[in-house]
A and B are shown apart, each in its own frame.
Chain A
Amino acid sequence: MCLAIPAKIVNIEDGMGTVDMAGVQKKVSLILLEDAQVGDYVIVHAGFGIHKIDEEVAMESLRILREAAHLLDVEDPAGPDEVTVTGFGTEEGDS
């Protein structure tokens, strides 16, 4: 029931969006979102966008995850110097 693949908005007309979900285009109502725009990634449920993904939050949580899994030095050229969080805590989610 919960489709967890984020969809990219490619067109908006009269509150209805067209999204691209892994290559498949679908009509989606954007009425439950505040400020969806073309190019945004949204979580879609039963034909409605229910959440707009904040790119910064998504990248930050992934960075912390990689750090905690001891992979950051391999994955991220920024290096571990800038990293202060060592656990999987989700404090960053509040931002």
Chain B
Amino acid sequence: MKYVDEYRDPELAEGVVSAIREKSRTPVRFMEVCGTHTVAIFRSGLKELLPETVTLISGPGCPVCVTAPEDIDRVIMLCRQPEVTVATFGDLMRVPGSDSSLHQEKARGADVRMVYASFDALELARKHKDRMIVMLGIGFETTIPTIAAALHQARQEGLENFLVFSAHKLLPPALDALLSAEEVHIDGFLCPGHVTTIIGTNPYQKVVNRYGKPCAISGFEPVDILQSLYILISQIEEARCEVEIQYTRAVRPEGNPRAREMMDEVFEHAEGLWRGLGPIPQSGLMLREKYRAHAAESHYDLTVPPAGEMPGCRCGEVLRGVCTPPECDLFRKRCTPTDPYGPCMVSSEGTCAAYFKYHPE
């Protein structure tokens, strides 16, 4: 596969590993922010290739995992409305709210459809004018423009039965929140490639300027990740601190302005509620006044009580990089991929699921 196989080349990987070994002197802890990176790191076994000086910790970049239980409860309320069809990306189906999941609700008869793209949900709205189609807006900056584009189209077509429930999250404010909490020591970030394809490098400047933590924007193949680690290690050994793009084939410094315009046309910033991290200012999105008629909360009262803690579940700490999966008493016992308890085991990109799959007992 073009632009892929080159970055899976074992000889090339070996070369980069040697370069890392030569360069690395100072013990460092880097956080891979993105769930897709977490899975790639576990699957390729590249942690085993790294010198002892380099530790990788997983962060809050699995969109399904960081969705607050209160938001799942709101989604459950929505799918229980007789005229509502919920359209969602598949990963969210099994994520637990306070007392149910979309999967359980579907089994009880709720109309829940898995879609491949937001335009599939638009098509449902065109075909079923007697139904209210609610697209679930879960995801980071990579997904947000795709939901925005559907809302833009719905407004143009006057599709009044196309609604969005926006639980979107913005990643840079979460990095800010992690660093300002000072709960976990991080020397640099392996930053998400496709989020940065959209937002560009500018939003990471705060991490660099205020906190002095290097950022490498990384692709998803093993050689990409190794090269990004080399970039971070080089910066630390050379006492530099910058945002550097490793994933140049997919990321421009300015990002994708057209996609950002689409986001800004439809959404405005609001407080975001994160599982594990709590409320973070300016990290969420709500529909602008012009689009408010397409907001699920404009049609339904989605007030829910605060969700209680899930007894024993340490997903919050896992998402903050404070705890690793085996340190949780439920891991591999009460909580497994076939019968998951916490969201980090539910999602295929969750740290616990990746750990379970690639670290045999």
- Alpha-carbon separation in the docked complex, A22 to B246 (Å): 24
Total interface residues on B, CB under 8 Å, equals 57
Residues of A close to B234: CB separation below 8 A? 87-89
Give the shortest distance, in Å, between A54 (CB) and chain B (any CB).
8
Beta-carbon contact of B1 and A2 below 8 Å: no
- Alpha-carbon separation in the docked complex, A89 to B214 (Å): 13
Beta-carbon contact of B244 and A45 below 8 Å: no
- Alpha-carbon separation in the docked complex, A1 to B250 (Å): 16
Question: B173: CB under 8 A from chain A?
Answer: no
Give the shortest distance, in Å, between A74 (CB) and chain B (any CB).
8
Residues of B close to A69: CB separation below 8 A? 12, 14-16, 18-19
Beta-carbon contact of A57 and B149 below 8 Å: no
Question: B117: CB under 8 A from chain A?
Answer: yes
Beta-carbon contact of B220 and A4 below 8 Å: yes
- Alpha-carbon separation in the docked complex, A4 to B219 (Å): 8
A2, A22, A32, A94: which contacts B259 (Cβ < 8 A)?
A32
Beta-carbon contact of A47 and B231 below 8 Å: no
Give the shortest distance, in Å, between B238 (CB) and chain A (any CB).
10
Question: B127: CB under 8 A from chain A?
Answer: no
Give the shortest distance, in Å, between A6 (CB) and chain B (any CB).
5
- Alpha-carbon separation in the docked complex, A65 to B231 (Å): 11
Residues of A close to B16: CB separation below 8 A? 65, 68-69, 88
Task: Digitize A37-55: 1 where CB-to-B-CB distance is under 8 Å, 0 elsewhere.
Answer: 0000101011110110110
- Alpha-carbon separation in the docked complex, A48 to B144 (Å): 11
A6, A26, A70, A90: which contacts B4 (Cβ < 8 A)?
A6
**CB-CB nearest in chain B for A95:** B248
B1, B223, B230, B231: which contacts A5 (Cβ < 8 A)?
B1
**CB-CB nearest in chain B for A46:** B146
Residues of B close to A94: CB separation below 8 A? 253
Question: B11: CB under 8 A from chain A?
Answer: yes
Total interface residues on A, CB under 8 Å, equals 41
Q: In residues 1-56 of chain A, which contact B (Cβ within 8 Å)?
A: 1-2, 4-6, 8, 22, 26-27, 29, 31-34, 41, 43, 45-48, 50-51, 53-54
**CB-CB nearest in chain A for B349:** A1
Question: A85: CB under 8 A from chain B?
Answer: no
Task: Digitize B131-155: 1 where CB-to-A-CB distance is under 8 Å, 0 elsewhere.
Answer: 0000000010011011001000000
Give the shortest distance, in Å, between B99 (CB) and chain A (any CB).
26
Q: Tell which of A32, A33, A58, A89 has the most Cβ of chain B within 10 Å.
A: A32
Task: Digitize B166-201: 1 where CB-to-A-CB distance is under 8 Å, 0 elsewhere.
Answer: 000000000000000000000000001110011000
Residues of B close to A46: CB separation below 8 A? 89, 116-118, 139, 142-143, 146
A47, A53, A90: which contacts B245 (Cβ < 8 A)?
A90
